[in-house]
């Protein structure tokens, strides 16, 4: 059943919120002193009534600044969700979703690209809770053909390594990989032939195909498909009913965005340019909208709970946001999430970019604040601008 799209200016009224200052939890920690481990701070408690007029003014300022930057950066359309203290304070579409000038709404579907990776990692943690797998066992238990070219790495590799990009194997398949290796098993086999450029767990190296292997291992553990596992473990429990893992399904919906070219002409791109995402769904295959992603933000900001129901154990959730490896830029990387310092806060985040689309999901757990920006052009400059807009209007003293 198709839900009636909400107004692009839809906002959720809040009964209680902390707006300014949102305060730090006494037990939050950004670093452990060695700069090797960053952990998720506890969510901020809600203890003060909101000044609704002040909140409305701040949201209006955010909306105006977002629209100004969208036009300045020549972004055709965007969907934005901001969640604070377990409630959406902004769900809105900006600009247009196609060359017919149909507006982006909170229900407009976008490809979220690599923002899929945190979903895959969460599904693995939930599966570990259920005893279907262990993050510290070899993916070969579920994929008999899995074998890294380096014997030492192959003898040690675990699902946790796949999810944290620390196998030592680079993401270096040649151009035309989708046509040459049209099945997921074929892609995984081809990726495993890549020569390692580091010892296992020595270096962070982003690798879509290791995420593909993790997702296929997850599917095998459930004796199902990856798409069905994601639907049953995450999308349905979060009531993310519009979200899907099929470009064809996205194109059949009543409210979806086309992607646009990154050049100044902003040409509308055919949807079949995204067909390759079906081959690497665990790494980048989810399509979603601002409404559904607000549910995802709520879950993450509540440390794995939604509306009083826990989806993943506390230990499982903690594993997602505990640094497993440090990136060359000095950021922490857990399981599907970057953890970094930003304006003095611990920012948990992941970007996603595919042909014609870019997404960024940001969380400030210690403030109970998170946001997602979905755009129909592969350029993160706009979502970076939105970050600073939110800082100026909701965080800066």
Tens digits of residue pLDDT in 241-265: 999 999 999 999 999 999 999 999 9
At 48 the pLDDT is 41
Q: Which whole number is the average pLDDT over 327-347?
A: 98
pLDDT band at 13 (very low <50, low <70, confident <90, very high): very low
**pLDDT(303) > 80:** yes
The percentage of the chain sitting over the pLDDT mark of 90, rounded to a whole number, equals 83
Q: Which whole number is the average pLDDT over 86-108?
A: 98
pLDDT band at 108 (very low <50, low <70, confident <90, very high): very high
**pLDDT(130) > 60:** yes
**In sequence order, what are the residues at sequence separation of 6 or more whose Cβ sits closer than 8 angstroms to the Cβ of residue 370?**
82, 83, 297, 300, 301, 361, 362, 363, 364
Across the chain, what does the average pLDDT equal? 89
**CA-CA distance, 157 to 342, in Å (whole number)?**
32
**CA-CA distance, 229 to 212, in Å (whole number)?**
14
Residue owning tokens 């452990």: 32
277 phi and psi angles, rounded to 5 deg: -65, -25
At 47 the pLDDT is 34
Q: Which CATH architecture has domain 1-67+86-385?
A: 3-Layer(aba) Sandwich (3.40)
Count helices and strands in the chain by DSSP H and E runs: 13, 12
98: left (phi over 0), alpha (psi -120 to 50) or beta: beta
At 3 the pLDDT is 38
At 239 the pLDDT is 98
């Amino acid at each position: 059943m198709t839900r009636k799209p909400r107004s692009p200016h839809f906002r959720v009224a809040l009964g209680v919120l902390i707006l300014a200052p949102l305060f730090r939890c006494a037990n939050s920690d950004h670093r452990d002193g060695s700069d090797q481990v960053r952990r998720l701070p506890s969510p901020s408690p809600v203890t003060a009534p909101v000044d609704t007029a002040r909140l409305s003014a701040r949201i209006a300022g955010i909306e105006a600044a977002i629209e100004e930057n969208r036009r300045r950066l020549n972004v055709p359309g965007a969907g934005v969700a901001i969640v604070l203290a377990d409630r959406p304070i902004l769900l809105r579409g900006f600009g247009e979703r196609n060359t017919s000038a149909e507006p982006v709404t909170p229900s407009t579907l976008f490809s979220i690209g690599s923002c899929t990776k945190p979903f895959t990692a969460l599904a693995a943690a939930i599966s570990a809770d259920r005893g279907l797998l262990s993050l510290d066992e070899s993916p070969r238990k579920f994929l008999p053909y899995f074998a890294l070219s380096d014997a030492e790495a192959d003898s040690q590799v675990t699902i946790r390594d796949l999810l944290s990009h620390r196998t030592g194997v680079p993401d270096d398949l040649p151009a035309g990989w989708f046509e040459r290796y049209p099945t997921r098993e074929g892609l995984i086999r081809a990726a495993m032939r890549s020569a390692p450029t580091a010892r296992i767990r020595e270096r962070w190296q982003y690798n879509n195909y290791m995420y593909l292997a993790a997702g296929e291992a997850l599917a095998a553990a459930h004796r199902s498909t990856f798409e069905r596992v994601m639907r049953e473990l995450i999308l349905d429990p979060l009531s993310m009913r519009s979200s899907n893992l099929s470009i064809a399904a996205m194109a059949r919906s009543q409210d979806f965005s086309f992607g646009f070219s990154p050049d100044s002409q902003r040409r509308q791109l055919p949807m079949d340019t995204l067909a390759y995402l079906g081959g690497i769904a665990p790494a980048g295959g989810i399509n979603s909208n601002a409404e559904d992603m607000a549910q995802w933000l709520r879950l993450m900001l509540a440390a794995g709970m939604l509306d009083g129901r826990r989806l993943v154990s506390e230990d499982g959730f903690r594993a997602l946001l505990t640094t497993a490896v440090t990136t060359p830029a000095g950021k922490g990387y857990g399981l599907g999430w970057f953890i970094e310092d930003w304006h003095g806060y611990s920012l948990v985040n992941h970007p996603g970019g595919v042909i014609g689309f870019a997404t960024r999901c940001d969380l400030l757990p210690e403030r109970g604040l998170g946001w997602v920006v979905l755009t129909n052009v592969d350029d993160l400059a706009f979502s970076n601008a939105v970050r600073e807009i939110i800082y100026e209007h909701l965080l800066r003293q």
